[in-house]
């Protein structure tokens, strides 16, 4: 089986930076707010030919090479949602629908919506049997609660989050827009750091218990290196990384951080920290320097947060609920009327008169690592399965009922072939109707490969994107085999037949040369298609490629992204491209809506009863989502080992289990 090339950004183990899988240590000593130019607007002709672009930094030579095309109107901007007064007829219909709603959708008048935001937040819709939080459902709950006459306000419990800053910004916008309804949003933060406070400070009021653990020390990003450990056990990684900034594989191939990766991570850290300072200083009404001085003093005493006005008061949870009882006029009640996130997610938008009508816009969600095929036992949330996504794309393309498509991406990449196949299908889809790519936390490497097929790309300002590069590799186990007295012999025909099969010896010089050339070829294909998709020359694309990860803000200033914002921004642009008035309601059709599978149900039950959801899902995903066993370390995909011998399959399977239970 041929070695599989992987398009994958190194997922950073950002204790406060983001929530992907692994990597990189870099304490930036020069933290400051970066100043970014406004992103240039693109000219958007048919996506199957190279469109001309208007980029402020483009050279005269590039302008001469591209023929003039019709100027597209400026891209619109949009809030998360707009609270409007419903007509009397709609209000009457809403009351009737609430009266006949089934029991699981009924909410008592005067209820407070409670949502606990903590841990992982998926960009996919969740089924009834799925555990965890769903960003689309969180955002929809804010919108429904703003209109729902039965909801008096929202009480948010905010605890350590394992998601990136893109999702946090999306939720934050919904909090801000919900407050425009006149209803209250009260936050409660017993444990948190910079990311949690960034979200919580958007609430109208913020409380914490007197014993709260709130650590505001600053942001870090870190990388660990295993090369020395692997050498001691006799394992030699043979890795090809194409791109000076391509950090995927560094954990195995290097013993320290490269200068290029250090530069890249310092820039990302400055972007995120600068944005944090800007936002908090705006909320506090103080200068950024004052906020930074406060953080640098070492904030761990929650009393200081109250004294300095960072939180409203120090109260326990029951005291906050008693206060809310008084606010909503329920003093005579034994307990506060509440409806939780799970139950309120079942309330349909149509019940509240919010269901769009008229034109249909398809929403295709693509989240997780990219693979080409799916096994029979893999869970439905096991990442992006190219063959399944392609089927959905073709269905939408062949249907005339959809006027536009929003492709929502939250992926660090994966299989190179799968990424390219999806790129082609998205290009064909964009030739038949408007397609807008909307990035969540991350759309890098293979994730960006998908996004660049769309004529318009929308990203959050702190989305991690770009990483136009490839990485591939295999393990040489000669010394390990010698140490454990293990022997392996191969009979082959063909000069390079053993290139992927032989792990008991180093690569011959001619094999190593072919190994490198194949990776270089994959990189050139990725880079050239990116240049064509974004209407840049290859030289221009090379300056922003090389495997470098950019923030959404920096990517926009370099022509990799067209507009900054969230899902609502992508929807506004989709309406514009489909010639639908911005004030006209549309119906969003979720094409990738998950249906519960047996592994989903079992893992959901396991999460409820035993708390092993993450372990079960991880093992199910890695062991059964592909045809054969996949060598995976810290989110970096290497050689696909379909036709391995039984002893190597057992060796890798045991290693994967140890990694998950360690």
> Which residues belong to the active site?
246, 445
**117: β partners:** 158
Q: In 226-305, where do the E strands start and end?
A: 236-242
Report the alpha-carbon distance of residue 327 to residue 315 in Å, rounded. Answer: 16
Q: How far is CA 300 from CA 118, 210, 316, 554, in A?
A: 20, 12, 18, 33
Q: Going by DSSP bridges, is the β-strand pair 384-385/413-415 parallel, antiparallel, or unpaired?
A: unpaired
Is residue 225 within 8 A of residue 254, CB to CB? The reply is yes
Q: State both tokens at 301.
A: 């005493």
Q: Hey, is 589 helix, strand or coil?
A: strand
Report the alpha-carbon distance of residue 170 to residue 566 in Å, rounded. Answer: 6
Best CA proximity match to 364, nearest among 318, 278, 321, 426: 426
Best CA proximity match to 455, nearest among 66, 72, 27, 62: 72
> What is the chain's Cα-based Rg?
26
Q: State both tokens at 276.
A: 């944090």
Q: In 317-469, where do the E strands start and end?
A: 338-340, 360-367, 370-371, 384-385, 402-411, 413-415, 435-444, 456-459, 464-466
For 445-483, b where at least 16 C-beta lie within 10 A, e where not — what string?
bbbbbbbbbbbbbbbbbbbbbbbbbbbbbbbbbbbbbee
Q: Residue 629: phi, psi to the nearest 5?
A: -90, 140
Report the alpha-carbon distance of residue 333 to residue 342 in Å, rounded. Answer: 23
Per DSSP, 19 falls in state -
**122: β partners:** 134
Report the alpha-carbon distance of residue 464 to residue 268 in Å, rounded. Answer: 9
Report the alpha-carbon distance of residue 441 to residue 461 in Å, rounded. Answer: 10
Best CA proximity match to 546, nearest among 530, 534, 564, 535: 530
């Amino acid at each position: 089986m041929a070695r599989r090339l992987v398009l994958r950004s190194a997922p950073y183990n950002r204790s406060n930076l983001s929530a992907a899988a692994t990597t990189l240590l870099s304490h930036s000593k020069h933290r400051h707010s970066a100043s970014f130019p406004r992103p240039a607007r693109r000219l958007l002709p048919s996506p199957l030919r190279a469109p001309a672009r208007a980029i402020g930094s483009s050279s005269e030579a590039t302008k001469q090479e591209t023929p003039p095309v019709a100027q597209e109107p400026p891209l619109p901007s949009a809030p998360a949602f707009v609270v409007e007064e419903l007509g009397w007829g709609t209000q009457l219909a809403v009351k009737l629908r609430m009266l006949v709603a089934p029991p699981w959708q009924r909410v008592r008048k005067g209820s407070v919506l409670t949502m606990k935001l903590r841990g992982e937040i998926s960009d996919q819709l969740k089924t009834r049997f799925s555990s965890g939080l769903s960003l689309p459902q969180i955002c929809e709950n804010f919108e429904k609660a703003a209109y729902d006459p039965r909801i008096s306000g929202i009480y948010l419990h905010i605890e350590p989050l394992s998601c990136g800053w893109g999702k946090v910004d999306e939720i934050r916008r919904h909090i801000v827009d919900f407050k425009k309804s006149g209803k209250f949003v009260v936050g409660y933060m017993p444990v948190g750091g910079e990311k949690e406070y960034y979200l919580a400070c958007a609430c109208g009021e913020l409380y914490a218990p007197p014993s709260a653990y709130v650590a505001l020390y600053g942001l870090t990003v870190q990388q660990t290196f295993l090369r020395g450990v692997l050498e001691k056990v006799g394992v030699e990684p043979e890795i090809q990384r194409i791109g000076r900034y391509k950090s995927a594989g560094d954990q195995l191939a290097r013993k320290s951080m490269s200068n290029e990766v250090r530069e890249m991570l310092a820039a990302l850290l400055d972007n995120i920290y600068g944005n944090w300072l800007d936002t908090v200083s705006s909320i506090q009404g103080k200068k950024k320097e004052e906020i930074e001085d406060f953080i640098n003093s070492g904030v761990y005493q929650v009393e200081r947060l109250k004294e300095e006005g960072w939180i409203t008061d120090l109260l326990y949870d029951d005291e906050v609920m008693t206060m809310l009882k008084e606010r909503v006029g329920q003093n005579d009640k034994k307990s506060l009327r509440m409806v939780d996130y799970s139950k309120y997610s079942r309330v349909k938008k149509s019940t509240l008169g919010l269901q769009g009508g008229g034109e249909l816009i398809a929403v295709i969600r693509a989240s997780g690592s990219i693979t080409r095929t799916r096994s029979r036992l893999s869970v439905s949330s096991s990442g992006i399965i190219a063959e399944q996504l392609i089927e959905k794309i073709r269905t939408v393309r062949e249907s005339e009922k959809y006027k536009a498509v929003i492709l929502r991406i939250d992926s660090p990449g994966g299989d190179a072939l799968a990424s390219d196949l999806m790129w082609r299908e998205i290009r064909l889809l964009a030739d038949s109707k408007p397609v807008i790519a909307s990035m969540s936390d991350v759309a890098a490497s293979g994730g960006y490969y998908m996004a660049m097929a769309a004529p318009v790309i929308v990203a959050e300002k702190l989305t991690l994107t770009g990483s136009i590069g490839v990485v591939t590799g295999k393990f040489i186990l000669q010394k390990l085999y010698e140490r454990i007295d293990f022997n392996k012999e191969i009979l082959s025909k063909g000069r390079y037949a053993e290139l992927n099969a032989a792990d008991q010896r180093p690569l011959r010089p001619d094999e190593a040369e072919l190994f490198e050339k194949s990776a270089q070829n994959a990189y050139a294909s990725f880079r050239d298609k990116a240049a064509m998709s974004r209407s840049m020359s290859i030289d221009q694309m090379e300056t922003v490629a090389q495997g470098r990860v950019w923030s959404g803000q920096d990517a926009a200033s370099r022509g990799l992204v067209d507009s900054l914002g969230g899902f609502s921004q992508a929807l506004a642009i989709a309406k514009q491209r489909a010639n639908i008035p911005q004030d006209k309601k549309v119906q969003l059709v979720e094409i990738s809506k998950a249906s519960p599978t047996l592994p989903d149900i079992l893992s959901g039950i396991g999460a409820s009863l035993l708390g092993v959801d993450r372990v079960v899902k991880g093992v199910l995903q890695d062991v059964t989502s592909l045809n054969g066993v996949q060598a995976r370390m810290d989110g970096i995909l290497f050689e696909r080992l379909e036709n391995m011998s039984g002893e190597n399959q057992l060796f890798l399977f045991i290693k994967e289990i140890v990694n998950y239970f360690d």
